[in-house]
Chain A
Amino acid sequence: MKVKAKAKNNITSVRVLAKHPMETGRRIDKESGEKIPAKYIQELTCEHEGNVVFVAQLGTSVSKNPYLAFSFEGGKKGDALQLRWNDNTGDVAKVEAKIK
């Protein structure tokens, strides 16, 4: 996950680019002829100072390497944000990013 976060006038805006194939489960592997199993992020959250400030529930219609932009009230330069996603196969990714 790559995160860019900026705070201005007590509002923090965040952009996230998660690295994930977001396989729909409908694509056919050219070599094997088999369907590639579905693998996609189901939930992505952002926490700031113990508060969950963003919850996204995603499905297979979200693009590969999901991009999300959101903002929340609060936050200042130097604060830490915790981002986390989990997918349908149980994989999890976590990243901590500083607000600039």
Chain B
Amino acid sequence: MNLLSKAATTLLLISLTSVSYATPEQDKETFQSFYTERFPDISKADFGDGVYALDQDARDQWEAMNDFPPYEDNLEEGEILFSTPFENGKNYASCFENGGENIRQNYPKFDSKRNMVVTLELAINECRINNDEEPLPYKKGDIAKISAYMASTSEGSEINIATPTSKAELAAYDAGKQYFYSKRGQLNFSCANCHIQNVGRKARSETLSPALGHPTHFPVYRMKWESFGTLQRRFDTCNKQVRAEPLPGQSEAYRNLEYFMTYMSNGLPVNGPASRK
């Protein structure tokens, strides 16, 4: 065979056994097994406890705090806010499947009509707007309390984000994945640098938590905030800590990131709201 036809054959062979990008399912398998292999003594479900699955001294303190959770009052307020009807007589239950109970594990969803990721908080505000109510500020305050109440009705249900398959879903998923793995800020860190590469090690005196299980326990009651905060509120803090600009609540980048991160934790039980330092 002459050189040209050899080259042509090689190219043909390469194109047949072409390198394809990993599917989201393959990504998820790789992601989850990284952690289960790195920490063989921790069951997959327990990664939802974050640092408390890795550090006994911290866990003991957390369990002591959970003896009388500091967020009880706020959670009760969340239930009241959720159940109180709007001016027009309708309520949140009318906007959501199953009356808004035991659904947190299905969010974020991809809305194929509008070609965008819809998080639970976005859905809460859209419910308000559709019922002539003012939208709530994202990230903290009442929206976090309502979301926390809704999360509490999902306790134990497994995170069940529909696998991205359509072109639009994959685009949003990929954007979220890119954000997760891209370096940013003056300190030039990516989410992956801390939460995959250096998981379990320390950044100054803080133990770095695993990204597997990150979304399961949100909204979170941070002792430091003395209030509930959403996952995107935490994104802000992470961004500020690497000296990057935080983004507005429910911005496209944050929604796509939440979509990617939550899909990575598919199969883990919802254990929110939870308290953290």
Task: Assess whether B21 is interfacial by the CB under 8 Å rule.
Answer: no
Please classify how large the interface on chain B is, using the bins under 10, 10 to 19, 20 to 34, 35 or more.
under 10
Task: Assess whether A20 is interfacial by the CB under 8 Å rule.
Answer: no
**A2, B72: Cβ atoms under 8 Å?**
yes
Task: Assess whether B100 is interfacial by the CB under 8 Å rule.
Answer: no
Question: In the complex, how many residues of chain A place their beta carbon closer than 8 angstroms to a beta carbon of chain B?
Answer: 8
Which residues on the B side are within 8 Å of A17 (C-beta)? 68, 72
Which residues on the B side are within 8 Å of A45 (C-beta)? none
Which residues on the B side are within 8 Å of A67 (C-beta)? 67-68
Which residues on the A side are within 8 Å of B70 (C-beta)? 65
How far does the alpha carbon of A60 sit from the alpha carbon of B31 in the complex, in Å?
A: 47
Contacting residues of chain B (26-84) with chain A, CB-CB under 8 angstroms: 67-68, 70, 72-73
Task: Assess whether A15 is interfacial by the CB under 8 Å rule.
Answer: yes
Which residues on the A side are within 8 Å of B72 (C-beta)? 2, 17
How far does the alpha carbon of A40 sit from the alpha carbon of B25 in the complex, in Å?
A: 55
Bitwise, A13-32 to B at CB < 8 A (1) or not (0) is 00101010000000000000
Min C-beta distance of A33 to chain B, whole Å: 23
Task: Assess whether A55 is interfacial by the CB under 8 Å rule.
Answer: no
Which residues on the A side are within 8 Å of B73 (C-beta)? 19
How far does the alpha carbon of A2 sit from the alpha carbon of B68 in the complex, in Å?
A: 9
Contacting residues of chain A (65-86) with chain B, CB-CB under 8 angstroms: 65, 67, 69
How far does the alpha carbon of A64 sit from the alpha carbon of B253 in the complex, in Å?
A: 38
Task: Assess whether A4 is interfacial by the CB under 8 Å rule.
Answer: yes
How far does the alpha carbon of A16 sit from the alpha carbon of B72 in the complex, in Å?
A: 13
CB contact between B67 and one of A15, A19, A65 (< 8 Å): that residue: A15
Closest chain A residue to B226, Cβ basis: A64
Which residues on the B side are within 8 Å of A15 (C-beta)? 67-68
Min C-beta distance of A26 to chain B, whole Å: 19
Which residues on the A side are within 8 Å of B67 (C-beta)? 15, 67, 69
How far does the alpha carbon of A19 sit from the alpha carbon of B70 in the complex, in Å?
A: 11
How far does the alpha carbon of A15 sit from the alpha carbon of B67 in the complex, in Å?
A: 8
Which residues on the B side are within 8 Å of A65 (C-beta)? 70
How far does the alpha carbon of A15 sit from the alpha carbon of B73 in the complex, in Å?
A: 16
Bitwise, B72-98 to A at CB < 8 A (1) or not (0) is 110000000000000000000000000
Which residues on the A side are within 8 Å of B68 (C-beta)? 2, 4, 15, 17, 67
Which residues on the B side are within 8 Å of A69 (C-beta)? 67
Closest chain B residue to A64, Cβ basis: B226
Contacting residues of chain A (40-75) with chain B, CB-CB under 8 angstroms: 65, 67, 69
How far does the alpha carbon of A17 sit from the alpha carbon of B68 in the complex, in Å?
A: 7
What are 12 A-B residue pairs whose CB atoms fall within 8 Å in the complex?
A: A2-B68, A2-B72, A4-B68, A15-B67, A15-B68, A17-B68, A17-B72, A19-B73, A65-B70, A67-B67, A67-B68, A69-B67
What are the 10 closest A-B residue pairs judged by CB atoms, nearest first?
A17-B68, A67-B68, A15-B68, A15-B67, A69-B67, A2-B72, A65-B70, A4-B68, A2-B68, A67-B67
Residues of B within 8 A of A (CB): 67-68, 70, 72-73
Q: A2-B68, A17-B68 given. 10 additional CB < 8 A pairs?
A: A2-B72, A4-B68, A15-B67, A15-B68, A17-B72, A19-B73, A65-B70, A67-B67, A67-B68, A69-B67
